[in-house]
Structure 1
Amino acid sequence: MTVTNNNPLVRPATEADTGPLIGVLAEAFHDGPLAEWLIPDPDERRTVYYRYFRDALHHGMTHGQVHTTADQTAVAIWYPRLEPAPTDTRERLAALERITGVYAPKFVLLEELFDAFHPDTPHHYLAYLAVDPSRQNRGIGATLLADHHRRLDDFGLPAYLEASNMRNRRLYLRHGYTAGPTIALPTDGPIIWRMWRGAPTTSGGRTPFPHPRPRRRSL
C-alpha cells in the first residue's frame, strides 16, 4: 500500500517513542557510503550507531522538533535555525569521543564540515529523516517531509539539509529542494549534497549556499 501525503499518521514524538525511534535511526542509516566511510566494520557500526543516534534523538527532543508516525516506523528531526546556532566545541568533542570511541575523528570532521557550510539565512534544518528499512518505498518519508513543509510554508520559511546518497537526493529534489555545491569528504569519502528548499514567497532569489565559515570546531 502506498502512503499518501494526506494520510494523517504524523504526530509529535514523545519520550515513550525514544526506544523504537533510536532503532529506526540506527537501522535506516546503517548502510550506505557515508556509514561505510565513518565505520568500515558493519558490526562495530551497529553498536556505535545506536549510541550516536540515541544522543541525536535526545538532543532533537530537547532542542528541536521530532515527528514520527502512528506505528513508530519513521522519524524526522528538525531544528529551527532562525539565527546562527552557537556551538560548545569542547563539550561536543568530548561527547563524540565518548559516544564513538576510536571513530571520533571522522565524526568530528563530518560535523565540522556540516557546521562550516551551514547557511546563516533563517530556515529549518532537517538533521535526520529515517524510515524503518522494512517500510521503505511506501511514501512514509515523503509524508513526514510534506507534513513539516506545510508548516514551513505557512510561516514563509525555507528548509536546508544534507543528502548523503543519490537515492535521498532524488527524494528531496522531488519535494522542491535545489542541490547546491557539494561537500567532498577526504580519504576517499563520499560526496554530500547541500540542499535548499526556498520559502513559497521566494522568487528568483539567490540560494544561500555559503563558503566555509571560519568559526569551526577544533579537533
Structure 2
Amino acid sequence: MTVSNKNLLVRPATEADAGPLIGVLAEAFHEGPVADWLVPDPTDRRTVYYRYFTDAFHHGLAHGQVYTTGDQTAVAIWYPRLERTSTDTGGRLEVLEHIAGAYAPKFVLLEEMFDAFHPDEPHHYLAYLAVDPVQQSRGIGAALLADYHRRLDDLGLPTYLEATNMRNRRLYLRLGYTAGPTIVLPTGGPIIWRMWRGAPTSSGRTPFPRTLPRRRPL
C-alpha cells in the first residue's frame, strides 16, 4: 500500500526501483568506520559495495519488505524475525567470496558477528536504512520509518537494528530506540551499537532483551 507520511510519499519498492535504490545504498554506506574497516581502498570499495548492495536489495525483495520514497532518495530493508532463523553459512560464504573477493573474510566476520548477537525475541529487523547523501539531514530517513513503526506498534512488535556510527545512533535514540550492549569488531574494527525499539506497553516499551551470543555449530 502507498502512504503519504508528513508530506513524504512512502511506498513498497519493486524490481523496477533496483537501479536507483542500489545506488542509494552503495553511496550512503560508502563512508564511515565500518566501510573503512571492510574495504580500506575507496576505489575497490565502490565496486564491492555496489555488488554487495545489489545482493542485499534483491534479497530484501525476495525475503523481506523493502520501502522507498516517491523520488527514490531513500530505502529501508526490513525482515520479520518472528522465530529463530538459521543461516546457510556455506552458501553465504560462496556469495560473499563472489561479491568481495579478497575482502570477503571481513564481510563474513561482520555478518557472523551480527548473527551471533541477534535477539531471539520475535521482532522486525531493520537491516538497512539509506538516504541519498545529498538529501541527508532533512528528516527523510525518520519519515520513511514512521509508518512502519506505527504498524509494528499496532501489532505489538518490537524492532531491532545495528547502528554503525554515532550519528545514526543519535537518530535512532530520537525515534524511540534504546541502546543495548555493543559489538566490537575484531582485528581493529569499530564499535557497533545494537538498538531496540520495544513493543508498546501500558508503562512505556519493552526493554532491550537479554541476548546470549550464539555458539557456532561444530
TM-score where L is the length of structure 1: 0.94
How far off its partner does 1:177 sit?
Answer: 0.4
Q: Verify: 1:166 aligned to 2:189, yes or no.
A: no
How far off its partner does 1:86 sit?
Answer: 1.9
Alpha-carbon distance between aligned partners in 2 of 1:202 and 1:63, rounded to the nearest angstrom: 33
Q: Percent identity?
A: 77
Unpaired runs of 5+ residues, structure 2, are: none
Note the alpha carbon deviations across 1:111-160, whole angstroms, 9 max, x for none.
00000000000000000000000110111000011121011011010000
Asked whether the equivalents of residues 117 and 209 of structure 1 are also in contact (C-alpha less than 8 Å), the reply is no
Q: Give the equivalent residue in structure 2 for 1:66.
A: 66
Amino acid corresponding to residue 106 of structure 1 in structure 2 = K
Written as runs of structure 1 = structure 2, the 5 A alignment for 1:49-198 is 49-198=49-198
For these two proteins, the number of residue pairs brought into alignment is 214
Of stretches 205-214 and 153-162 in structure 1, the one that deviates more from structure 2 is 205-214
Counterparts in 2 of 1:52 and 1:162: CA distance versus 1, 3 Å: same
Note the alpha carbon deviations across 1:169-217, whole angstroms, 9 max, x for none.
000000000001000011221100000000112747542141211146x
Alpha-carbon distance between aligned partners in 2 of 1:18 and 1:125, rounded to the nearest angstrom: 21
Alpha-carbon distance between aligned partners in 1 of 2:177 and 2:202, rounded to the nearest angstrom: 13
Alpha-carbon distance between aligned partners in 1 of 2:54 and 2:30, rounded to the nearest angstrom: 14
Unpaired runs of 5+ residues, structure 1, are: none
| Structure 1 vs Structure 2 CA RMSD | 1.5
Q: Verify: 1:208 aligned to 2:209, yes or no.
A: yes
Alpha-carbon distance between aligned partners in 2 of 1:176 and 1:206, rounded to the nearest angstrom: 11
Alpha-carbon distance between aligned partners in 2 of 1:18 and 1:99, rounded to the nearest angstrom: 17
